Amino acid sequence: MKALLVACLLLTSLQAFGSNRESGGLRMAASVYFVFSSFGSGIDRQTQNLLEELIDMDQEKGWIADVTEEHWGREGEVTYCLQYETNNLEAVTGSRDIIRGVALPIIDDGKVFRQERTAVFLGLNCGDLENATRQDLTTYLD
C-alpha cells in the first residue's frame, strides 16, 4: 500500500511540470535546485550554510541519492542540485521540507538586498535546470 501511495504521489508531482517555469507552489519532485547568485555583493552565505546542514541531515537519513555542486562565478555563485530517492515516501516529502527550511531566510535576504540572490527550482533530474520549475517560496511558509 505504501508503494502505491508513493507511486501516486510521484505521478501527481511529475504531472505538475511543463513549460511554465514560473508557476511555483507546493510541488514534490525528484530533483531540487538551489541557485545562489550575486549582484556585486556576494552570495547569501548564511542560507548556503543552512542549506548544507539540511543536505547533510537528509543524506544521513538516506533520502538523497546524489548532490551536485556547480561553481560558476567569481563571487561564490553556485548551483546545488539534490537528487532525491523517488521510491521512498519520506524522501519525496523531504524534498519539500528542505525548501521549507530555507524559504524564509531566502525571502528575508531578498528584502534586505531588494533583489533575490537565491532561487529554488524543482525538476525531474539534476543536469536539466533549463526545464525545471521556479518556486514561489511564499507558498512554502507555514
User: The domain that contains 112 carries what CATH number?
Assistant: 3.30.70
Q: What range defines the domain where residue 11 resides? A: 2-17+27-140
- 87 pLDDT tier (thresholds 50, 70, 90): confident
- How many domains, the chain? 1
Residue 92: pLDDT band by 50, 70, 90 thresholds? confident
Per-residue confidence at 7, pLDDT binned at 50, 70, 90?
very low
Residue 22 lies in a domain: no
> Residue 23 pLDDT more than 90?
no
pLDDT surpassing 80 at residue 55: yes
Identify the pLDDT of residue 108. 96
Do the domain assignments include residue 97?
yes
Q: What DSSP assignment string belongs to the chain?
A: -HHHHHHHHHHHHHHT-SS-TT--SS---SEEEEEE--SSS---HHHHHHHHHHHHHHHHTT-EEEEEEEE-SSS--EEEEEEE-TT-HHHHHHHHHHHHHHHHHHHHHHHHHTS-SEEEEEESSTT-GGG-EE--GGGG--
Quick check: 125 pLDDT over 50?
yes
Is 32 within a domain?
A: yes
Q: How confident is the model over 79-89, as a mean pLDDT? A: 91
How far is Cα 104 from Cα 60, in angstroms, rounded to an integer?
24
